[in-house]
């Protein structure tokens, strides 16, 4: 597939941009940011869809991104389509119909995005990384081929990742990998599970032991019980023995008190209390009677005065007002004096203001406060206005002075010269001069190129030849070239074949001669020819003998002597021949195999000789034809360019001359470029002269000091200075004009401000006069006097208020005194009598005193009456108590069976003794029964029998010791039993194998997951390794051979090729063959060579892909940055060859790469596109 | 009277394939089968049943461990304390069990003979129970045919451990047909052996109660026992009582037509929430199965671990405690990953070729895998040999492509 046209309809910085491509080598040049990388991404997006995040959507929106293309497949089918980001059908054909992904994929040969992006495109960074990978992989051939063939990075590391994953999961002898850990845990669980299982045998054994312990414990328990019973009985007897004795004594004492009545327990206390109440009751009655008499007397002594008490409310009023009335009487004269003083002061002030001296009617004469405040505020305003007037005056004077200064300054400035004509020329001259550095660089570049061209002209081998001569050379047509190239190839091939055949013949001959020599050297191997020869000689000898001796032909005597030359006679000689022929026949019979071989070898020798002669003849004929062709070939070229070599062939064959012709083309192109540059240089020179002249003319009227300057830079310096000078003067003029305008405006503003203040002052005067009239005041001129007047008026206003208050108070006091006097008169019944205030106060005080006395007497009588009632009640109660006590004593006596209560104390004593004895006997019985465990008193006393407490104590000690020991034994048995049972319970309940069973199952489930992971890693690794081997097997031959040739070119012949070999461990290794035939491993190569090696492998893989499948364009992104120019040229040549067979898109933003491409790529296939 | 019918208790059989990481979760299921049996006893006491029938496979295997005997004796004694009779037959799993020899049965419990059909009559309720235990070894004869005619005037229950006419998930034992059973004249056939609950007939009642606790991802749904009631003449009630401790679920999620990973989360969450809801407070052990034709973008489905992590995250959102993912099975059809006609120089095509030749690949892996195989327990060895990815290595190709090209800018 090749791209005929790429449409950047809306992508990155492009909108409706088309690149016309087609087969060949396309160099896409663009400066930084021109959209080179975007165009590269566009290719991927075009064929495989837009990436999810539209990073190239900055000119059009993400939704409007669109790319299109026209592509042609290897078999000539074409497809024109558009891919949009938006819409249900992103792919559409030129006619608007939907294009399926499958159809597009078929044009790409089913290539994936990854393969396209990795195999068919390359940039310098990846080139370097891949080169390093070749080194890191240790030169593994398979990996190297796959990395180059599939564009995968660092295959070794990926294999290592899989191995590491496996190692993390499982190692046959490891402990830490996950699977090993789980397996170990499973083992632990299995062992633990065995320990936790309680087998039936175990269980029975444990149960038997428990039963035995329980039985033993039970035996000891009955012994303990028996002992405890014995001890309890002995202890009981010990407790009952003293009780039995006491019981008998009590019984005896009680029989003595048989007739004594048992009085109730409280009879004694009752009697004592009744007697005590009788005594105290009598004393109390006497005291109460005396007190009642005393009270009667006190009451009779109190006086009666009810009249005073009836007027209680009226007297309370006088009592309340008495204090206030007496204070008013004291304060009144002082207040009246204060009022008088105030009136005096008011009169003085009124006089000062010129107002009537009438303090009582002050309100009427004073001006209202609002008017006074207005006058005060007008006074303040006047001071402010006067201040403003002074400031405005000063400002106006200052502005006028500034205006005068500005006017003078304007008049002093020099005039501005006229520079319009000069300015027009100057800008052109500046631009011209700015390029002067570049021109000088171009000029030196031109010189360098001229030198280089001379060298290259010389290197063409035509001696001192000029460009036109080179251009005019008569050279063979291309068809002739091709034809003769073919002829040369054929002839040289024929010659080589004949030479090879001769060499082969010679080798065979040597081998054969050796064999013959070895066979013949043994002396025992003869050929049939030998036999035939020997026999022929024998027969010939016989013929001679027969003819000479049997037929008697004497003439044969000399022949005979010649035939049998030895000293022996003919007979002996003939016998010798007979023996010889027999021997030879024998030898053939014995060594027939060797004989046959030797015969064949002789025959072969003859045949080979004939073949050799034929070949020699062929060789000569071929060489003749070659010489003829060579002379024709030499004749095609200018004299001396092609010469006859020592071998009879020309020193430069057609391949070399094709290169020569290409080199000539490049030299001619360079020559044309130089000529064009020279023309440009001349044009520049002319322009410079013109500019200089016009500049000088324009300067003449302006320059006061020409100093004979002729050069353009010098003139420019002067012109710039004059222009600057003129500009500076113009600036000063503008600035002075601006200053004057500003000063004028400020002076006008200041004068206007002064006038404004004067107007305000006039207005104030009118307003002030009006305020004086309104206040009805005759205002003085001096503002200070006006302020004093205003202060007096304020003081008068305050005095007026104080006097009014004082008058009100005095009036009130007089009214209070009068009212009090009326009340006192009313109470004392002297309403019509007039008395002085002092008399009135005395009367009031007397009335109050009398009322208080009457009230106290009344209260005292009431208290006494209440006390008499209380005493009467208490006397009644005492008499009742005396009665009750007497009746109680009588009742007690009758109960004790006596008539006189005084006999009671004795009977009570005996009754108490009897009751105590009875109580004690009950207690003894209770104690005995308590320790008797339900037995009757009689039985318990009987159980004691005639027992002796010492003997019982002895028995008791022995029994207690026995019991202690039995208990100890039992406790230890019980402890053992409990421990045994607990252990068994624990083993049966808490510590169960079933728990581990589930845990083992969980571990097995986890193990299953890990095994799956291991299997996955193992399979992935297996597929990858097998894939690498298969890839190597299939591609090793063609790719290595092709890559070797490319490497040879890229390294300028330093390396001759590539080969595969097996390393020490039997792994396939990639080796590089050096110029001298030595093979190197990748680790012996420099970085640059590694890059070249990877590039060679990659280009070979691409070539192989394009041969075996649908070809795809190769995209290089500034690929040759790391290579020097010579290598870059070679690489460009290789790429241009790829381009000649398909399509190469070479992106660059380096201008020199364009030049290199022009040099390396034949013009017929090179297309340059600028972004 | 009320009676419980349970079968296939498989005491102390572990729950399978749960790769639990949390020890708390493990402790919840350590004794799942025992806890389910204790729950049955609790429920029998609570419901005041008079009889418990156990139709075979009380134990899971013949491991003479007195712990399980101890447990069983305690549980049966609890029933005895409440005057509940227990009638047991042995099934194929516990026929040869030596544990029974050490088991002193409480007086309420009867294990029926393995030589002849035996009958227990509960006079006070008018109920007769007939049955026969399995003898050790393969029981291939139709035992039902030898059961005697029913006890006249009684409600007749027959206990039988049988595979009936066969089920693909269970081995064949004491085969018989439904007609064989229906024609014997019994009122209630209390069957065991098949782990799936099923009422095959209602008159007479022919009932498989299923097992008491599901033990792996194929034994899904509620598990428990049948609670029945009779008036001495006919069956008056028959209800299922769930008693399982953990409940198993299979959750198929159809991923056909999904175009983004987010689309998977919704159905997944719904399914998991339903599983949790249906588990009724128990832990739910769920096997998630992705089915359908995948068209999800990117390489999401290519990484089983990534898919599993997603499922675990959604599960943790639904419930941190009670939702356990047993396994995530990828059962979907994947689109053709590598295709097209290309040169034999295309490495990806060569990888595809290698992956599609499992025999050659297996031979190449033999050395590597045999070491692992030797270290594994027997059952995992079989699992390894029958692994799906070993049979179809091509399904790993996307993973391989991802490894080769991941993180590498072209």
Name the pLDDT band for A439 (thresholds 50, 70, 90): confident
Nearest CA to CA, how far is B288 from chain A (Å)? 15
Of A988, A1023, A1035, the CB nearest to B354: A1023
Of B18, B66, B341, the CB nearest to A200: B66
Model pLDDT, residue A858: 76
Q: Are B303 and B311 in contact (CB under 8 A)?
A: no
Phi and psi angles of residue A289, each rounded to the nearest 5 degrees, phi first: -60, -45
pLDDT at residue A91 is higher than 90: no
Lowest mean pLDDT among A608-617, A1080-1089, A1134-1143, B274-283: A1080-1089
pLDDT in tens, A880-933: 888 888 888 888 888 777 777 777 887 888 888 888 888 998 998 898 888 777
Indicate the burial class of B305 (C-beta count within 10 angstroms; 0-12, 13-18, 19 or more): exposed
Nearest residue to A1048 via CA among A1070, A1071, A1072: A1072
Nearest CA to CA, how far is B270 from chain A (Å)? 26
Interatomic CA distance for residues A181 and A263, integer angstroms: 101
* Chain A interface includes B121 (CB < 8 A): no
DSSP H or E stretch at residue B203: none
Model pLDDT, residue B345: 47
Is the pLDDT higher at B253 or at A328? Answer: B253
Question: Chain A residues with CB inside 8 Å of B73's CB?
Answer: none
pLDDT at residue B347 is higher than 50: yes
Of A109, A114, A152, the CB nearest to B341: A109
Q: What is the layout of strands, in order, in the sheet containing B85-89?
A: B109-111, B85-89, B51-55, B2-6, B224-230, B235-242
pLDDT at residue B294 is higher than 70: no
Nearest CA to CA, how far is B18 from chain A (Å)? 5
Is the pLDDT higher at A729 or at A216? Answer: A216
* Chain A interface includes B345 (CB < 8 A): yes
Put simply, the answer to whether A146 touches B375 (Cβ < 8 Å) is no
Name the pLDDT band for A303 (thresholds 50, 70, 90): low
Sign, CA dihedral A795-A796-A798-A802, equals positive
Nearest residue to B307 via CA among B323, B327, B337, B293: B327
Model pLDDT, residue A53: 65
pLDDT in tens, A934-958: 888 888 888 887 778 888 888 899 9
Sign, CA dihedral A575-A581-A586-A591, equals positive
CATH class name, domain A369-418+712-774:
mainly alpha
Question: Chain A residues with CB inside 8 Å of B368's CB?
Answer: 166, 1018, 1022
pLDDT at residue B344 is higher than 50: no
Model pLDDT, residue A561: 80
Is the pLDDT higher at A631 or at B99? Answer: A631
Question: Chain A residues with CB inside 8 Å of B369's CB?
Answer: 1015, 1018
Put simply, the answer to whether A115 touches B389 (Cβ < 8 Å) is no
Nearest CA to CA, how far is A974 from chain B (Å)? 23
Taking the CA atoms of residue A328, residue A331, residue A335 and residue A337 in that order, the dihedral angle to the nearest 10 degrees is: 130
Put simply, the answer to whether B369 touches A1015 (Cβ < 8 Å) is yes
Nearest residue to B70 via CA among A7, A145, A992: A992
Chain B residue with CA closest to A203: the answer is B66
Instruction: Count A/B contacts: CB-CB distance under 8 Å.
Output: 214
Nearest CA to CA, how far is A1006 from chain B (Å)? 5
Put simply, the answer to whether A1031 touches B30 (Cβ < 8 Å) is no
* Chain B interface includes A1000 (CB < 8 A): yes
Question: Chain A residues with CB inside 8 Å of B67's CB?
Answer: 197-198, 987-989, 992-994
Assign B330 to helix, strand or coil: strand
pLDDT at residue A1168 is higher than 70: yes
Name the pLDDT band for A422 (thresholds 50, 70, 90): confident
Model pLDDT, residue B237: 95
pLDDT at residue B295 is higher than 70: no
Question: Rounded to the nearest 5 degrees, what angle is found at the Cα of A361, between the Cα atoms of A357 and A366?
Answer: 80
* Chain B interface includes A650 (CB < 8 A): no
Interatomic CA distance for residues B54 and B41, integer angstroms: 12
Cross-strand partners of A29: A1148, A1170
Nearest residue to A322 via CA among A833, A848, A851: A848
Question: Chain A residues with CB inside 8 Å of B404's CB?
Answer: 150, 152, 155, 158, 1024
Name the pLDDT band for A709 (thresholds 50, 70, 90): low
pLDDT in tens, A117-156: 777 778 888 777 887 777 777 777 777 778 777 777 778 8
pLDDT at residue B207 is higher than 90: yes
Q: What is the layout of strands, in order, in the sheet containing B118-122?
A: B118-122, B127-131, B155-161, B188-192, B205-208, B198-202
Nearest CA to CA, how far is B98 from chain A (Å)? 10
CATH 3.60.21.10 residue ranges for chain B: 2-242
pLDDT at residue B229 is higher than 90: yes
* Chain B interface includes A210 (CB < 8 A): no
Selected residue of A52, A185, A1001 to mutate for chain B interface (largest B Cβ count, 10 A): A1001
* Chain B interface includes A111 (CB < 8 A): yes
* Chain B interface includes A1011 (CB < 8 A): yes
Nearest CA to CA, how far is B331 from chain A (Å)? 16
* Chain B interface includes A51 (CB < 8 A): no
Interatomic CA distance for residues A891 and A264, integer angstroms: 13
Q: Are A1071 and A141 in contact (CB under 8 A)?
A: no
Mean predicted confidence (pLDDT) in A390-400: 87
pLDDT at residue B341 is higher than 60: no
Put simply, the answer to whether A183 touches B399 (Cβ < 8 Å) is no
Phi and psi angles of residue B293, each rounded to the nearest 5 degrees, phi first: -105, 120
Mean predicted confidence (pLDDT) in B16-31: 86
| Helices (H), ranges, A1109-1150 | 1125-1141
pLDDT above 70 as % of chain A: 97
pLDDT in tens, A492-522: 888 889 999 999 999 999 998 888 888 877 7
Model pLDDT, residue B144: 93
Residue B291 DSSP code: E
Interface of B with A in 50-109 (CB under 8 A): 63-68, 70, 98-99, 101-102
**Assigned fold of B2-242:** Purple Acid Phosphatase; chain A, domain 2 (3.60.21)
Q: Which range is most confident: A363-367, A469-473, B203-207?
A: B203-207
Model pLDDT, residue A260: 77
* Chain B interface includes A1002 (CB < 8 A): yes
Model pLDDT, residue B49: 97
pLDDT in tens, A652-695: 888 888 888 888 888 888 888 888 888 888 888 888 888 888 88
> How confident is the prediction for chain B on average, in pLDDT?
87
Is the pLDDT higher at A1100 or at B3? Answer: B3
Mean predicted confidence (pLDDT) in A861-870: 82
* Chain B interface includes A747 (CB < 8 A): no
pLDDT in tens, A185-207: 999 999 998 888 888 888 889 98
For B256, B296, B301, B314, the CA distances from B307, given in Å and listed in that order, are 16, 12, 6, 11
Question: Chain B residues with CB inside 8 Å of A149's CB?
Answer: 345, 347
Mean predicted confidence (pLDDT) in A288-303: 78
Interface ipTM? 0.90
* Chain B interface includes A167 (CB < 8 A): no
Put simply, the answer to whether B30 touches A1004 (Cβ < 8 Å) is no
pLDDT above 90 as % of chain A: 11
Model pLDDT, residue B123: 94
Mean predicted confidence (pLDDT) in A553-579: 79
Model pLDDT, residue A294: 82
Mean predicted confidence (pLDDT) in B16-22: 85
Question: Chain B residues with CB inside 8 Å of A203's CB?
Answer: 66, 102
Q: Are A1126 and A1133 in contact (CB under 8 A)?
A: no
Place of tokens 């204090």: A323
Interatomic CA distance for residues A413 and B130, integer angstroms: 141
String of DSSP letters for A977-1039: HHHHHHHHHIIIIIS-HHHHHHHHHHHHHHHHHHHHHHHHHHHHHHHHHHHHHHHHHHHHHHH
pLDDT at residue B338 is higher than 60: no
Put simply, the answer to whether B343 touches A183 (Cβ < 8 Å) is no
Interatomic CA distance for residues A375 and A886, integer angstroms: 115
Put simply, the answer to whether B399 touches A1009 (Cβ < 8 Å) is no
Name the pLDDT band for B298 (thresholds 50, 70, 90): low
Cross-strand partners of A1061: A1069
Count the helices and strands in chain B (H runs, E runs): 11, 15
Chain B residue with CA closest to A102: the answer is B340
Q: How far is CA A247 from the centre of its chain?
A: 104
Q: Are B223 and B243 in contact (CB under 8 A)?
A: yes
Name the pLDDT band for A1014 (thresholds 50, 70, 90): very high
pLDDT at residue A785 is higher than 50: yes
Model pLDDT, residue A706: 59
Model pLDDT, residue A567: 67
Chain B residue with CA closest to A1101: the answer is B345
A101 token code pair: 């992904």
Question: Chain A residues with CB inside 8 Å of B215's CB?
Answer: none
Nearest CA to CA, how far is B55 from chain A (Å)? 23
**C-alpha gyration radius of chain B:** 26
pLDDT in tens, A1102-1142: 888 888 778 889 988 888 887 888 888 899 999 998 888 88
Assign A109 to helix, strand or coil: coil
A134-139 long-range Cβ contacts below 8 angstroms, 24+ apart: A134/A1070, A134/A1082, A134/A1090, A134/A1093, A134/A1094, A135/A1082, A135/A1083, A135/A1085, A135/A1090, A137/A1082, A138/A1082, A138/A1083, A139/A1069, A139/A1070, A139/A1071, A139/A1081, A139/A1082, A139/A1083
Place of tokens 């639990």: B20
Mean predicted confidence (pLDDT) in B287-315: 79
Question: Chain A residues with CB inside 8 Å of B380's CB?
Answer: 1004, 1007-1008, 1011
Of A183, A1002, A1107, the CB nearest to B20: A1002
Assign B198 to helix, strand or coil: strand
String of DSSP letters for A1045-1067: HHHHHHTTTSEEEEEEEE-TTS-
* Chain B interface includes A121 (CB < 8 A): yes
Model pLDDT, residue A164: 92
Put simply, the answer to whether A1008 touches B383 (Cβ < 8 Å) is yes
pLDDT at residue A840 is higher than 90: no
Mean predicted confidence (pLDDT) in A1029-1037: 83
Name the pLDDT band for A707 (thresholds 50, 70, 90): low
Put simply, the answer to whether A1016 touches B396 (Cβ < 8 Å) is yes
Put simply, the answer to whether A109 touches B101 (Cβ < 8 Å) is no
Chain A residue with CA closest to B340: the answer is A110
Q: How many other C-beta atoms can be found within 10 angstroms of the C-beta atom of residue B178?
A: 13
pLDDT at residue B196 is higher than 90: yes
């Amino acid at each position: 597939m090749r791209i005929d046209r790429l449409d950047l309809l809306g992508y990155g910085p492009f909108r409706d941009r088309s690149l016309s491509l087609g087969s060949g080598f396309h160099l896409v040049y663009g400066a930084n940011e021109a959209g080179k990388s975007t165009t590269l991404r566009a290719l991927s997006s075009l064929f495989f869809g837009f990436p999810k995040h539209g990073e190239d959507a900055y000119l059009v929106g993400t939704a409007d991104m669109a790319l299109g293309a026209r592509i042609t497949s290897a078999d000539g089918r074409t497809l024109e389509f558009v891919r949009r980001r938006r819409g249900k059908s992103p792919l559409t054909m030129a006619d608007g119909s939907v294009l399926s992904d499958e159809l597009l994929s078929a044009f790409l040969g089913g290539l994936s995005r990854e393969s396209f992006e990795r195999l068919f495109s390359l940039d310098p960074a990846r080139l370097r990384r891949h080169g390093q990978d070749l080194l890191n992989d240790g030169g593994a051939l398979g990996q190297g081929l796959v990395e180059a063939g599939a564009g995968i990075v660092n295959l070794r590391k990926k294999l290592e990742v899989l191995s590491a994953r496996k190692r993390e999961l499982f190692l046959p002898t490891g402990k830490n990998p996950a699977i090993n850990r789980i397996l170990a845990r499973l083992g632990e669980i299995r062992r633990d599970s065995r320990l936790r299982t309680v087998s039936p045998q175990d269980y029975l054994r444990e149960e038997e032991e428990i039963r035995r312990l329980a039985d033993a414990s039970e035996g000891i328990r009955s012994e303990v019980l028996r002992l405890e019973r014995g001890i309890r009985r002995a202890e009981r007897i010990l407790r009952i023995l003293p009780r039995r004795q006491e019981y008998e004594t009590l019984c005896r004492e009680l029989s003595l008190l048989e007739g004594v009545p048992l009085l109730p327990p409280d009879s004694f206390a009752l009697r004592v209390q009744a007697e005590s109440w009788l005594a105290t009751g009598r004393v109390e009655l006497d005291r109460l009677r005396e007190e009642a008499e005393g009270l009667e007397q006190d009451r009779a002594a109190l006086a009666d005065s009810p009249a005073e008490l009836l007027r209680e409310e009226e007297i309370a009023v006088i009592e309340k007002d008495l204090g206030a009335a007496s204070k008013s009487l004291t304060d009144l004269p002082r207040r009246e004096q204060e009022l008088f003083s105030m009136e005096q002061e008011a009169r003085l002030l009124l006089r000062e203001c010129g107002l009537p001296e009438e303090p009582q009617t002050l309100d009427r004469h004073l001006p209202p406060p609002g008017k006074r405040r207005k006058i005060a505020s007008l006074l303040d305003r006047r001071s402010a206005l006067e201040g403003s007037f002074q400031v405005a005056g000063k400002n106006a004077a200052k502005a006028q002075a500034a205006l005068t200064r500005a006017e003078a300054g304007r008049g002093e400035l020099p005039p501005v010269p006229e520079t319009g004509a000069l300015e027009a020329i100057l800008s052109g001259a500046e631009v011209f001069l700015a390029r002067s550095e570049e021109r000088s660089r171009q000029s030196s570049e031109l010189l360098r190129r001229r030198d280089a061209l001379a060298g290259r002209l010389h290197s063409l081998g035509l001696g001192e030849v000029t460009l036109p001569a080179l251009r005019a050379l008569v050279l063979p047509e291309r068809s002739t070239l091709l034809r003769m190239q073919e002829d040369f190839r054929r002839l040289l091939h024929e010659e080589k074949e004949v030479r090879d055949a001769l060499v082969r013949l010679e080798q065979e001959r040597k081998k054969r001669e050796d064999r013959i020599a070895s066979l013949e050297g043994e002396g025992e191997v003869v050929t049939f020819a030998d036999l035939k020869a020997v026999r022929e000689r024998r027969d010939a000898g016989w013929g001679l003998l027969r003819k000479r001796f049997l037929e008697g032909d004497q003439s044969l005597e000399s022949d005979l002597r010649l035939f049998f030359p030895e000293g022996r006679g003919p007979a002996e000689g003939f016998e010798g021949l007979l023996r010889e022929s027999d021997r030879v026949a024998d030898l053939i019979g014995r060594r027939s195999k060797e004989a046959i071989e030797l015969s064949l070898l002789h025959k072969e020798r003859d045949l080979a000789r004939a073949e050799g002669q034929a070949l020699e003849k062929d060789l000569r004929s071929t060489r003749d034809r070659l010489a003829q062709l060579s002379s024709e070939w030499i004749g095609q070229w200018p004299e001396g360019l092609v010469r006859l070599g020592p071998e009879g062939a020309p020193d430069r064959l057609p391949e070399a001359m094709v290169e020569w012709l290409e080199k000539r083309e490049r030299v001619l192109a360079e020559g044309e470029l130089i000529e064009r540059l020279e023309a440009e240089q001349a044009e520049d020179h002319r322009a410079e002269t013109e500019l200089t002249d016009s500049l000088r003319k324009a300067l003449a009227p302006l320059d006061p000091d020409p100093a004979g300057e002729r050069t353009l830079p010098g003139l420019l310096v002067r012109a710039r200075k004059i222009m600057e000078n003129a500009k500076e003067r113009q600036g000063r003029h503008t600035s002075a004009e601006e200053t004057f305008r500003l000063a004028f405006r400020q002076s006008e503003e200041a004068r206007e401000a002064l006038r404004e203040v004067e107007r305000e002052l006039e207005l104030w005067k009118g307003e002030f006069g009006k305020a004086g009239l309104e206040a009805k005041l005759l205002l003085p001129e001096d503002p200070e006097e006006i302020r004093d007047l205003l202060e007096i008026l304020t003081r008068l206003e305050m005095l007026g208020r104080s006097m009014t208050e004082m008058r009100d108070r005095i009036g009130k006091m007089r009214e209070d005194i009068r009212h009090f006097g009326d009340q006192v008169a009313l109470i004392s019944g002297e309403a019509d009598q007039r008395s002085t205030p002092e008399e009135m106060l005395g009367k009031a005080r007397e009335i109050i005193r009398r009322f208080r006395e009457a009230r106290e007497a009344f209260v005292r009588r009431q208290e006494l009456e209440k006390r008499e009632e209380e005493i009467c009640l208490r006397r009644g109660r005492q008499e009742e108590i005396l009665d009750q006590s007497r009746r109680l004593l009588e009742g007690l006596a009758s109960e004790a069976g006596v008539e006189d209560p005084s006999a009671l104390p004795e009977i009570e004593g005996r009754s108490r003794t009897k009751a105590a004895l009875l109580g004690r006997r009950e207690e003894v019985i209770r104690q005995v029964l308590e320790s008797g465990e339900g037995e009757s008193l009689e039985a318990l006393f009987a159980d004691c029998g005639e027992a002796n407490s010492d003997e019982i104590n002895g028995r008791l000690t022995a029994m207690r010791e026995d019991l202690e020991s039995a208990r100890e034994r039992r406790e230890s048995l019980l402890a053992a039993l409990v421990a045994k049972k607990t252990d068994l319970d624990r083993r049966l309940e808490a510590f169960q194998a079933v728990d581990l069973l589930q845990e083992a199952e969980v571990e097995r489930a986890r193990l299953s997951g890990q095994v799956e992971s291991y299997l996955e890693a193992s399979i992935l690794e297996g597929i990858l390794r097998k894939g690498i081997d298969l890839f190597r097997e299939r591609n090793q031959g063609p790719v290595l051979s092709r890559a070797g040739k490319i490497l040879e070119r890229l390294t300028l012949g330093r390396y001759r090729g590539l080969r595969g070999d097996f390393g020490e461990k039997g792994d396939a290794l990639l080796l590089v063959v050096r110029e001298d035939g030595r093979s190197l491993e990748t680790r012996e190569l420099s970085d640059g060579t590694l890059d070249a090696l990877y590039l060679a492998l990659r280009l070979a893989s691409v070539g192989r892909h394009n041969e075996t499948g649908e070809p795809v364009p190769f995209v290089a992104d500034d690929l040759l940055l790391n290579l020097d120019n010579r290598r870059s040229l070679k690489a460009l040549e290789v790429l241009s060859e790829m381009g000649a067979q398909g399509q190469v898109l070479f992106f660059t933003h380096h201008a020199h790469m364009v030049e290199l491409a022009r040099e390396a790529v034949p013009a017929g296939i090179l297309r340059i596109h600028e972004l | 009277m009320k009676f419980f019918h349970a079968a296939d208790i498989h005491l102390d059989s572990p729950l399978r394939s749960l790769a639990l990481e949390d020890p708390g979760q493990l402790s919840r299921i350590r004794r799942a089968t025992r806890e389910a049996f204790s729950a049955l006893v609790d429920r029998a006491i609570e419901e005041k049943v008079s009889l418990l029938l156990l139709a075979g496979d009380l134990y899971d295997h013949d491991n003479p461990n007195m712990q399980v005997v101890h447990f069983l004796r305690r549980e049966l004694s609890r029933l005895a304390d409440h005057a509940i009779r227990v009638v047991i037959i042995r099934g194929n799993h516990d026929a040869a069990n030596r544990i029974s020899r050490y088991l002193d049965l409480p007086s309420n419990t009867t294990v029926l003979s393995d030589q002849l059909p035996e009958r227990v009559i509960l006079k006070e309720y008018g109920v007769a129970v007939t049955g026969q235990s399995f003898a050790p070894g393969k029981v291939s004869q139709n035992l039902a045919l030898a059961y005697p005619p029913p006890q006249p005037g009684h409600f007749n229950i027959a206990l039988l451990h049988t595979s009936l006419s066969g089920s693909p998930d269970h081995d064949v034992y004491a085969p018989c047909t439904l007609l064989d059973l229906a024609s014997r004249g019994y009122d209630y056939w209390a069957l065991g052996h098949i782990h799936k609950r099923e009422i095959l007939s209602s008159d007479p009642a022919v009932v498989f109660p299923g097992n008491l606790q599901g033990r792996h991802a194929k034994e899904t749904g509620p598990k428990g026992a049948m609670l029945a009631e009779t008036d001495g003449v006919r069956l008056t009630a028959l209800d299922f009582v769930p008693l399982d401790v953990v409940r198993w679920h299979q959750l198929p999620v159809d991923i056909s037509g999904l175009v983004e990973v987010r689309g998977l989360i919704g159905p997944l969450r719904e399914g998991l929430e339903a599983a949790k809801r249906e588990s009724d407070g128990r832990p739910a052990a769920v096997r998630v199965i992705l089915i359908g034709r995948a068209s999800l973008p990117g390489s999401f489905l290519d990484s089983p671990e990534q898919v599993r992590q997603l499922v675990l995250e959604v599960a943790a959102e639904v419930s941190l405690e009670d939702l356990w993912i047993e396994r995530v099975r990828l059962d979907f059809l994947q689109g053709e990953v590598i295709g097209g006609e290309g040169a034999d120089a295309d490495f990806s095509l060569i990888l595809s070729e290698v992956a599609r030749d499992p025999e050659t690949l297996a031979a190449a892996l033999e050395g590597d895998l045999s070491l692992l195989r030797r270290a594994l327990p027997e059952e995992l060895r079989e699992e390894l040999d029958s692994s799906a990815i070993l049979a179809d290595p091509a399904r790993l190709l996307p993973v391989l492509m991802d490894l080769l090209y991941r993180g590498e800018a072209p």
